[in-house]
């Protein structure tokens, strides 16, 4: 029997990216199953954001393979094309339309809809309304639907933005430090939300807050100097000698 290639939702193989001679991504190999919720941690400058940039087409790697599903080569596509394939990214700072309601923001984000004007001056279809209600429920903003996005609390804005991504039915969702600036209660709710999305979507979360990581993580990938240092459960990575060295800065002097 021949070995058929295992199908990952996302795989990076031998990826390299230099900035002015500095290796931000260094022979990076990363594999993720469909429906997985994967947490990526790593010290500042480890290459986490650059990795997201490479997946979403914002940065082109110097070498290496980046594949979505079995045979879609992401390195051949631009940011827009990659987004259209079903890869959504949430940046740290929320970018909602503050003068529009929560409902309108979600409406504007639905698949197929185009500009603010053409959307808000067209008639909403029952299917669109139903989809928006569904997303409102998922992100816990049903009772905020008619409130202007600008008046939402910080956590609620972040949930709205996750909702705006969900409205587009992404297959893969990339979320950069969702708990930053949140209260403990908001953080816990965000964790529940992300966990609830797994299975239906594949989710990559970049996070620093280890309490939060412990709440949501199944598999954690530790990135260091643009390379995967270690992968496993939260306990496994927290007890890993190399991870402890990197995080506590206990540098062993090289003996040569
Ligand atoms: P992280 O998100 O893990 O903190 P980054 O991916 O932002 O790390 O950065 C990794 C390294 O690459 C850093 O040393 C950073 O300064 C460098 N870097 C990232 N983007 C650029 C760029 N556009 N130009 C030059 N250097 C960059
Ligand atoms: Mg970063």
Among residues 87, 42, 66, which one has the least CA distance to residue 202?
87
pLDDT at position 182:
93
Q: Is the pLDDT of residue 2 over 90?
A: no
> Hey, whose CA ends up nearest to atom 13 of ligand 1?
45
- Say how far residue 125 (Cα) sits from the centre of its chain: 30
112 pLDDT more than 80: no
52 C-alpha to ligand 2 centroid (Å): 9
Mean local confidence (pLDDT), 177-199: 94
Identify the residues whose C-beta falls under 6 Å from ligand 1. 19, 24, 42, 44-50
Choice among 1-10, 19-28, 82-91, 102-111 with the minimum mean pLDDT: 1-10
**pTM exceeding the 0.75 threshold for the entire prediction:** yes
Does 221 have pLDDT greater than 60? yes
Determine contact, residues 216/191, Cβ cutoff 8 Å. yes
Comparing 30 with 119, which gets the higher pLDDT? 30
Ligand nearest to the CA of 224: 1
What is the set of domains in the chain, with CATH numbers? 3-255 (3.40.50.300)
Q: Which ligand is nearest to the CA of 177?
A: 2
Question: Residue 202 has what pLDDT?
Answer: 97
Strands 63-68, 72-73: pairing is antiparallel
Span 167-180, average pLDDT: 93
- Ranges 85-89, 107-111, 194-198, 235-239: which has the least confidence: 107-111
Position 251 confidence tier, pLDDT thresholds 50, 70, 90: low
pLDDT, position 246: 86
236 C-alpha vs ligand 1 centroid, how far in Å?
27
Q: What pLDDT was estimated at residue 7? A: 82
The answer to whether residue 47 scores a pLDDT higher than 60 is yes
The residue whose C-alpha atom lies closest to atom 14 belonging to ligand 1 is 45
Q: Which atom of ligand 1 is nearest to the CA of 52?
A: 6
Write the CB contacts of 149 (distance below 8 Å, at least 6 apart in sequence).
Answer: 96, 97, 98, 99, 100, 101, 102, 105, 157, 160
Residue 47 Cα to ligand 1 middle (Å): 6
Bridge-based pairing state of the strands 202-206 and 63-68: unpaired
């Amino acid at each position: 029997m021949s070995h058929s290639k295992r199908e990952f939702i996302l795989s990076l193989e031998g990826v390299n990216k230099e900035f002015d001679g500095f290796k931000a991504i260094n022979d990076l190999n990363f594999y993720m199953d469909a429906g997985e919720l994967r947490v990526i941690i790593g010290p500042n400058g480890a290459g986490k954001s650059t990795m997201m940039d490479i997946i979403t087409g914002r940065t082109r790697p110097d070498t290496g393979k980046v594949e979505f599903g079995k045979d879609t080569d992401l390195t051949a596509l631009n940011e827009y094309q990659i987004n259209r394939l079903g890869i959504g990214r949430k940046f740290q700072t929320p970018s909602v339309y503050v003068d529009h309601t929560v409902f309108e923001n979600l409406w504007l984000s639905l698949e197929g809809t185009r500009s603010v004007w053409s959307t808000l001056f067209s008639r909403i279809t029952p299917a669109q309304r139903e989809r928006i209600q569904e997303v409102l429920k998922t992100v816990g903003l049903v009772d905020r639907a008619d409130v202007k996005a600008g008046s939402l609390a910080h956590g609620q804005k972040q949930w709205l933005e996750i909702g705006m991504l969900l409205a587009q039915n992404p297959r893969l969702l990339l979320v950069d430090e969702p708990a930053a600036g949140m209260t403990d209660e908001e953080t816990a709710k965000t964790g529940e939300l992300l966990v609830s999305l797994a299975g239906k979507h594949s989710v990559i979360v970049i996070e620093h807050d280890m309490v939060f990581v412990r709440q949501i993580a199944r598999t954690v990938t530790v990135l260091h100097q643009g390379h995967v240092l270690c992968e496993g459960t939260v306990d496994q990575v927290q007890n890993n000698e190399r991870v402890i060295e990197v995080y506590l800065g206990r540098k062993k002097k090289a003996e040569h």
